[in-house]
């Protein structure tokens, strides 16, 4: 009996000592984090420089120490972090799509993560950040409403709660550090008026999570005192063709792709004698839930359901005109889209607009029992396509007044640059060499043949979904 008690006491003593060591370790790590990773890097840099000086003697002044890019995430792992959503715009012309999973660079995503590392907002790596994106726009496609979500460093030191619907901030050890008292002070009478913040630390009162939940009911701007201005910080280092438009605290179970209620695309085009009425008639046939396998690039290995719900189709003129021609825009909103679906739909609508196909061709292509194989046709260009918006429940993006003004100035300057470029091209157009009337300079008769249109229902077809699946099964 005495031996058993002795063993129990020994175990209890060891357990207590382990707890003491863990607490001491946590305290030291916290102090290390508070010192800031830049201080640690500076010390390491100085130490390395001294070593070089001792080895190279009088040549030390001629030598430059090469600075290693990036930063050591070990020094960042104990900073507080919070899960947030970011609204992103980008001009897609020079990018190989949004996602960085392919071999081609640059991508929008890779540029964003370079900025996150440069500003030291990213704690750990991409896998640790619980990263998600709403859409995977293709090469050349632009966006003014892309949404991503991930954990980023935070200045706030408040704890996580068990409520997954709350905006969450975690400290390094996921410990309880008290709650933040918040008073949401309405400074105006209408929707979109400023909501100011007054708060402090306390053991009770209204928590930040409850306050954030209240802002989803129509207030436009909010301030969270002491928090990082994510929009301003990131936009300072991002390339000119990418900008963060706003940020919003998000619940930890938020997913930018699967949580999206709808996405809206815009497709710009010049009305060069197109039959707009016929295009509108054809486009309205796309609204509703249909099987869109004949309006996409089929991925039979990964996608098995080709039914999608289109909520809105609209075609309307913009205020932009050039050389007597007016710029129009097609707007298409849906719950989700297949690969290249919008560009394929627009391609068929252009055939209708050029009176090459009847609006009824839409009905035939949507009838996959009658037309199980997609006719071969070239999809519309990617350049005029824009991801306009992504809709979510209880996600309202915000931006500080300073960041908003800097963003506005930047976009105005970009517009001016493109207007200058357009003016140069227009001047070149006015100074083109006049076309000669000499018959000897004209092309031979019949050297340019007008390409005749082959009706979609008479064209060669791609393999059906079932045929693709059978081929995949045979090769497996």
| Cβ contact 116:122 at 8 Å | yes
Contacts of 420 (CB under 8 A, 6+ apart): none
List all residues 6 or more positions away from 296 whose beta carbon is below 8 Å from its beta carbon: 306, 338, 339, 340, 341, 344
Place of tokens 């390339």: 239
How many Cβ atoms sit within 10 Å of the Cβ of residue 150?
24
Quote the CA–CA distance of 242 and 434 in Å, as a whole number: 41
DSSP 78: T
- Alpha-carbon gap, residue 90 to 386, rounded angstroms: 9
Cα 208 off chain centre by: 26
Question: Cis peptide leading into 106, omega within 30 of 0?
Answer: yes
Residue 164 DSSP SS3:
coil
Question: Contact 108/90 with Cβ under 8 angstroms?
Answer: yes
DSSP 452: P
Would you say 390 and 259 are in contact if contact means Cβ atoms under 8 Å apart? Answer: no
Residues 6+ apart with CB under 8 A from 341: 292, 295, 296, 308
What angle do helix axes 276-284 and 341-353 make, rounded to 10 degrees?
Answer: 140
Q: Using an 8 Å Cβ cutoff, are 247 and 84 in contact? A: yes
| Residues catalogued as catalytic | 138
- What does the alpha-carbon distance between residue 79 and residue 155 come to, in Å, rounded to a whole number? 8
């Amino acid at each position: 009996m005495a031996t058993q008690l002795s063993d129990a006491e020994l175990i209890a003593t060891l357990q207590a000592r382990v707890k003491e060591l863990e607490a001491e370790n946590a305290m030291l790590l916290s102090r290390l984090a508070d010192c800031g990773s830049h201080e640690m890097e500076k010390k390491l840099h100085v130490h390395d420089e001294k070593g070089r000086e001792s080895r190279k003697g009088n040549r030390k002044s001629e030598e430059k120490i090469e600075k290693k890019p990036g930063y050591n995430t070990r020094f960042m792992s104990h900073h507080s972090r919070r899960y947030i959503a970011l609204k992103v715009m980008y001009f897609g012309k020079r990018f190989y799509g949004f996602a960085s999973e392919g071999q081609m660079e640059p991508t929008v995503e890779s540029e964003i993560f370079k900025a996150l590392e440069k500003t030291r907002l990213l704690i750990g790596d991409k896998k640790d950040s619980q990263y998600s994106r709403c859409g995977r726009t293709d090469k050349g496609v632009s966006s003014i409403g892309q949404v991503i979500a991930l954990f980023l460093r935070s200045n706030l030191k408040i704890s996580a709660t068990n409520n997954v619907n709350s905006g969450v901030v975690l400290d390094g050890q996921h410990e309880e550090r008290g709650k933040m008292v918040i008073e949401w002070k309405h400074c105006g009478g209408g929707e979109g008026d400023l909501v100011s913040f007054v708060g402090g630390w306390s053991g009770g009162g209204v928590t930040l999570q409850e306050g954030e939940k209240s802002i989803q009911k129509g207030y436009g701007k909010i301030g969270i005192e002491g928090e990082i201005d994510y929009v301003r910080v990131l936009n300072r280092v991002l390339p000119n063709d990418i900008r963060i438009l706003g940020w919003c605290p998000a619940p930890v179970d938020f997913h930018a792709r699967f949580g999206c209620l709808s996405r809206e695309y815009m497709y710009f085009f010049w009305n060069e004698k197109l039959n707009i009425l016929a295009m509108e008639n054809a486009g309205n046939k796309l609204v509703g839930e249909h099987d869109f396998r004949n309006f996409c690039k089929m991925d039979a290995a990964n996608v098995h359901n080709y039914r999608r719900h289109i909520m809105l189709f609209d075609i309307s003129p913009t205020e932009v005109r050039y050389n007597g021609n007016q710029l129009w825009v097609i707007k298409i909103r849906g719950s989700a889209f297949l690969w290249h679906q919008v560009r394929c739909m627009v391609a068929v609508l252009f055939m209708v607009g050029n009176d090459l196909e009847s609006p009824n061709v839409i009905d035939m292509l949507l009838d996959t029992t009658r037309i199980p194989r997609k006719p071969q046709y070239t999809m519309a260009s990617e350049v005029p396509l824009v991801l306009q918006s992504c809709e979510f429940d209880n996600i309202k993006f915000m931006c500080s007044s300073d960041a908003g003004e800097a963003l506005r100035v930047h976009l105005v300057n970009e517009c001016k640059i493109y207007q200058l470029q357009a003016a140069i091209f227009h001047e070149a157009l006015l100074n083109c060499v006049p076309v000669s009337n000499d018959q000897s300079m004209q092309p031979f008769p019949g050297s340019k043949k007008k390409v005749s249109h082959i009706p979609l229902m008479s064209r060669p077809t791609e393999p059906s979904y079932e045929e693709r699946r059978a081929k995949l099964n045979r090769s497996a």
